Amino acid sequence: MISGQMIKVTALLSKYKPILVVHGGCVGADSVFHEIAINLGIPVKVRPSNLKGFHAICPGAIEICEPEKPLVRNRKIVDECDLLIAAPDGPEKVRSGTWSTVRYARKMRKDHRILEPCLPFGVPPTA
C-alpha cells in the first residue's frame, strides 16, 4: 500500500467509524490496514490464508480465524462486510486475489471502494 492509499484508508475508516474490520492477514496492504485500524481504536478480525510465508503479525486483533484457502477466505471477508476497501497494486487483472475479491463484491452487490495507487506527477511507472 502506498502513502496515498494509506491516507484514503485512514479517511474512510475515520468517516465510517466501523465497529469491526476484517482483513486477510497477509504481509503488505493487510498489515498496513491492520495498523491503521488498531491506531484508530477499531477492533480487528483476521482471516488468514493457508499459504505459507504470507502471514503478517497482527498484534491486537480481537479474533484470528483458522487459516483457509485464499479464495474461500476472501469470499468470507466480502460476505461479512458492509463495505469492502481494496488497495490493489495496479489496474484490474486476472490471477489477483485482491481483484478476485473485488469482482466477488461486485457480484454480491456489496458497497466497495477501490483505492488505486497513484504515482506522483511526472514519475513514469517502472517496468
The reply to whether 124 falls in a domain is no
The reply to whether 39 falls in a domain is yes
Residue 125: predicted pLDDT:
53
Q: What distance in Å separates the CA atoms of residue 95 and residue 64, rounded to the nearest whole number?
A: 26
The reply to whether 127 falls in a domain is no
Which of the pair, 124 or 17, is modelled with greater confidence? Answer: 17
3-state DSSP: the chain helix, strand, coil percent, rounded to 5?
35, 15, 45
The reply to whether 52 falls in a domain is yes
Q: What distance in Å separates the CA atoms of residue 98 and residue 70, rounded to the nearest whole number?
A: 10
CATH assignment of the domain containing 109: 3.40.50.450
What are 46-92's pLDDT values in tens digits?
999 999 888 899 999 999 999 999 999 999 999 999 999 999 888 89
Residue 127: predicted pLDDT:
52
3-state secondary structure of 57: coil
Residue 30: give the domain boundaries.
3-114
Checking if the pLDDT of 123 tops 60, the result is no
What are 73-85's pLDDT values in tens digits?
999 999 999 999 9
3-state secondary structure of 1: coil
Q: What distance in Å separates the CA atoms of residue 67 and residue 82, rounded to the nearest whole number?
A: 22
Q: What is the residue whose three cell numbers read 510465508?
A: 53
Number of domains comprising the chain: 1
The reply to whether 96 falls in a domain is yes
Which of the pair, 47 or 117, is modelled with greater confidence? Answer: 47
Residue 118: predicted pLDDT:
60
Q: What is the mean pLDDT of the chain?
A: 91
Enumerate the H helices of the chain as residue ranges.
3-16, 29-39, 70-80, 97-107
CA angle 6-17-102, nearest 5°? Answer: 55
- pTM of this prediction? 0.87
The reply to whether 122 falls in a domain is no
